[in-house]
Amino acid sequence: MLSSITPLGQRGRGMSWARTVVAFWVGALIAGAVVFGLLGWIGESIGIDRLNPWYTIGLLVAAGSLDLAGVKPPGLHRQVDEDWLGRYRDWVVGLGFGAQLGAGFATIIPSFGTWAMLLVALGIGFPYAMFIGIAFGAGRSLLLFSTRSVRSTSSLADRMRRFTHAEDAARRAALAGYATVLVLMVVVNVT
């Protein structure tokens, strides 16, 4: 998907990259807010809306450990439908792709951190879960902005090569994020 929604690709289809990206961002934010907000509301409805901080710590430790061990998270094994690119208007493609990624579980789930966030949303209650979802949707949209300078096939190949080489760094950054949140939660709840 990332290699498809570039200024080069969108121009070739007679579409606007900027309009697609803005629609993607809106779709991801709305889907994140709705899905995570709904999970928070469900958690409140069944009485688990007052999240025990140790529950979150346990989820983060489990998610980080499984990711570190290289275990593949369960979930759908599909990406967004690239046939949409030539079939629908740019804003429809952006909105649809963004909504699928912002929902968290409608496409390939790359990390157990996604499942941990969905479970935290269930236990944190509404509206806090909705805010987590908005942040999640925003995070899923950020990489798309990095394609703004792709104007030729060689710059596209270079960008994709950089992303491939950055996978390990991204994995380490995610684990550092788990560790940071974990330490902060322990410090806040022990003191």
Which residue stretches of the chain are H helix? 7-12, 17-45, 53-68, 84-87, 90-103, 112-124, 128-145, 153-165, 167-190
Q: For residue 74, give every residue at least 6 positions away whose Cβ sits within 8 Å of its Cβ, in sequence order, or none.
A: 109, 115
pLDDT of residue 39: 93
- Smallest CA-to-CA distance from 80 within 67, 93, 89, 62 is with 93
pLDDT tens series, the chain, 191 aa = 556 787 777 888 888 888 999 999 999 999 999 999 999 999 989 887 566 677 777 887 888 888 888 888 888 777 777 778 888 898 998 999 999 989 988 888 888 888 888 888 888 888 888 998 999 899 888 888 878 777 777 877 787 777 777 777 777 777 777 677 667 666 766 55
CA R_g for the chain: 18
Half-sphere exposure of 25 (CA within 13 A, CB side): 11
CB of 174 within 8 A of CB of 111? yes
pLDDT of residue 49: 59
pLDDT of residue 168: 74
Three-state secondary structure call for residue 31: helix
Q: For residue 54, give every residue at least 6 positions away whose Cβ sits within 8 Å of its Cβ, in sequence order, or none.
A: 189
pLDDT of residue 3: 65
> Dihedral sign, CA of 159, 1, 139, 56?
negative
Tell me: the pLDDT tens digits for 16-41?
Answer: 888 999 999 999 999 999 999 999 99
